[in-house]
Structure formats: C-alpha cells, structure tokens
Amino acid sequence: MKNKTKYKVNCKQSTIDVYDVLQAFKVICPARQHAIKKLLKTGNRGYKDEEQDLIESKESINRAIELLKWRD
C-alpha cells in the first residue's frame, strides 16, 4: 500500500500518521509538533535534505523552550 501523505509510514502492517502519534502522546505545543515531524521524517519529505531538516528541528526546539519561558 502506497502512503497518501509524506507523514504516514507503514508499521507492522498498519499505516501510522505522525499527526495521530502527536495526538496519542498529547503533544500540543506547535513548536514541539514541528520539531517531532521533522525529526521523524528527516531528509525523507521530498524537498529538504537531512541537514536542513535537522537545523529546522533545532530551531523548533529552541522556540519550544522560549514558549516555556513565557508560560512562567
């Protein structure tokens, strides 16, 4: 079965969507969501290479840390 989106993967005869994973783990921070998506599909989304995805993941994590500081 071919995946319909770049964020779905096959796992043990099931197709898993990263958005379902984020929901299951209750990841609600948009910056964390962005970092996780990029880390799970690093270099495999079709238009950015592995290094660029890692750089952008790092930026998203830094943003998530900034958002934590605003909460306090």
* 53 lies in some domain: yes
Q: Return the pLDDT at 39.
A: 93
Q: What is the pLDDT of residues 5-23, one digit of tens each?
A: 677 777 788 888 889 899 9
* 6 lies in some domain: no
| pLDDT tier for residue 4 given thresholds of 50, 70 and 90 | low
Domain residues for the domain of 49 are 27-72
* 3 lies in some domain: no
Q: Return the pLDDT at 71.
A: 78
* 1 lies in some domain: no
* 19 lies in some domain: no
pLDDT at 27 over 50: yes
In angstroms, the Cα distances linking 25 to 3, 7, 11, 28, 41 are 22, 16, 17, 9, 18
* 16 lies in some domain: no
What is the tally of structural domains in the chain? 1
Q: What is the pLDDT of residues 48-72, one digit of tens each?
A: 889 999 999 999 999 999 999 987 6
